[in-house]
Amino acid sequence: MWYVNANVIADLLLRTAVERGWYAAPRILGAGRAISSPGGHGAGGGCAYASGEREFYEAALAELEAGADHVKIFISGGLNRTGENLGLALRHGVRCFEHIYQIDDKTAALLAQPGIFVTPTLCVTRSEGWMRAAGFPEAGLSPLPTLQSASVNAADLLGIGDHVGQIQPGYVADFVAVDGDPLDDLAAMRTISLVVQAGHVVRDDTR
């Protein structure tokens, strides 16, 4: 579970509880508090605030020292539409962008570079029915890359791709079983009958 901007660091506390065996939950990689500028997007939401390069650097270090696995930064008004904002973030090492709703061709080319991850989150503003009617079946991806976006690609983004995200020797046994073949129809992912996390059966509807 990838968690961003928990203003009371609930994600980090839950992760600790899971690691100590006090609570059962999905694998959590949390960001703690997001970082914004004073009066910027996220103001009043419990963010950490910074002005200028040095303060942002120190704020990011503070979140990492508090236990964050990654850092969320508000670089605009919540809707990443301009190549200027995205280009600046890319030059400073940002590798993942959320809420990419409307962009021009130049910005799309920047985001298409290897090692860059994009989460459009179209479902935030549009319904599933609208997405399908507008030609975005499962957010515009065919079945294989859709499944990869939730497994191997997500693991690579979070820096755990060397042991999570694939089913092969040496990797933790995280997987689900479904009634059909999701490569033929992604709707099969709605019929999960078995859930295994780190080799432990969490749910088994086959018995």
9 φ/ψ angles, rounded to the nearest 5 degrees:
45, 35
Highest mean pLDDT among 68-72, 147-151, 163-167: 163-167
pLDDT cut 90: percent of the chain above it: 32
Distance CA 111, CA 83 (A): 10
Q: Exposed, middle or buried, 94 (CB in 10 Å: 0-12/13-18/19+)?
A: middle
- Per-residue pLDDT reduced to its tens digit, 85-136: 788 888 888 889 887 767 778 888 888 889 899 887 766 556 666 666 665 5
> Is this prediction's pTM over 0.75?
yes
- Residue 91: its H or E element: helix 83-91
CA distance readout (Å), 114 to 21, 88, 95, 96, 162: 38, 17, 10, 11, 18
Domain ranges for the chain, please list them: 2-170
For the chain, what percentages of helix, strand and coil (3-state, to nearest 5) are there?
Answer: 35, 15, 50
- Per-residue pLDDT reduced to its tens digit, 39-69: 877 777 778 889 888 999 999 999 999 899 9
pLDDT given for residue 123 in this prediction: 63
* Residue 80 confidence (pLDDT) above 60: no
Is CATH 1.10.3720.10 what the domain over 2-170 is classified as, yes or no?
A: no
pLDDT given for residue 85 in this prediction: 77
Q: Exposed, middle or buried, 72 (CB in 10 Å: 0-12/13-18/19+)?
A: buried
